[in-house]
Amino acid sequence: MSATARKTALNAEDIRALKGGTPIVSLTAYTTPMAQAMDEHCDFVLVGDSVGMALHGLPSTLGVTMEMMILHGQAVMRGLTKALMVMDMPFGSYEEGPAQAFRNAARLMAETGAGAVKLEGGVEMADTIRFLVARGIPVMAHIGLTPQSVNTLGGYKVQGRDSAAAGLFADARAVADAGAFAVVLEKLPASLADQLTADIAIPTIGIGASAGCDGQVLVLDDMLGFFTAFKPKFVKRYADLGHQAEQAIAAYAAEVRARDFPAAEHLFADQAPKKKDTK
Ligand code: KIV
């Protein structure tokens, strides 16, 4: 089945309609098995450009390409039936202006079957968001700490403190007025996130923001304990799978070296038994 022949049950307008209700649940996904695991539990799944750091060992999200996003988007889409799939637009694929953004957003949607795209930026991206939405592309905005701008923000710092709060109000209002169906708020003071949530008519999705946001998103590999290079304060580890994987690999290596694996139950006899043992 081609990517565009698939579509999931929830769409961007369903997510918009969840403003002020039961909190919206979201995680990032990059592979089919993980998408399958979260489909039932999430309202939307984000194919984040965090894939570059989580799965490809890149030092930041800046090296992520359209091709990487499309490959992972196609894999995630194969695992979803219910949750909306949102594709991150990678660094350099939309900042030149609305026409470039439309070309690449349309490609992400056409080649993966995604129901929406996400891009980083507030006031400066409002015209681009308006252009995309008017041409049939649902847009999720992302303001506060925008990791693609790490080099101009001076690092992965908390945004919007003190007098900088006014800029965040301007950003949130600009993306909402431009037609974004939701906005990610990353790494802000909790009280500011609460005020922004009350101030705008579209859902706010917090990451390092506040439990008062309309929803939450986390990077899957952070919350499962697969990505351990560093742990932002806003990440809660719900599992320690990186450590468990390392222990399982060590056990396998020890058994191979001791010739304990494979054992009799993993081997095939000369004669085919009566019942099938081909699995
Ligand atoms: O790329 C990503 O995973 C994201 C989330 C941090 C929101 O943008």
The pLDDT tens digits for 13-50 are: 999 999 999 999 999 999 999 999 999 999 999 999 99
State the pTM of this model: 0.95
In contact, 141 and 121? CB cutoff 8 Å: yes
Task: List residues near ligand 1 (CB under 6 A).
Answer: 28, 46, 48-50, 88, 142, 184, 207, 217, 219
Residue nearest to atom 1 of ligand 1 (CA): 48
% of the chain with per-residue pLDDT over 90: 93
Greater pLDDT, 232 or 109: 109
| pLDDT (0 to 100) of residue 98 | 98
pLDDT at 4 over 70: no
Q: pLDDT, tens digit, for every residue of 50-89?
A: 999 999 999 999 999 999 999 999 999 999 999 999 999 9
How many residues are recorded in the chain?
Answer: 279
The two beta strands, 139-144 and 182-186, are parallel
Mean pLDDT in residue range 175-198:
98
**Contact predicate 231/218, CB 8 Å:** no
pLDDT, residue 5, reads 57
Query: How much distance in Å is there from the Cα of 21 to the middle of ligand 1?
Result: 23
Distance 124 CA to ligand 1 centre (A): 19
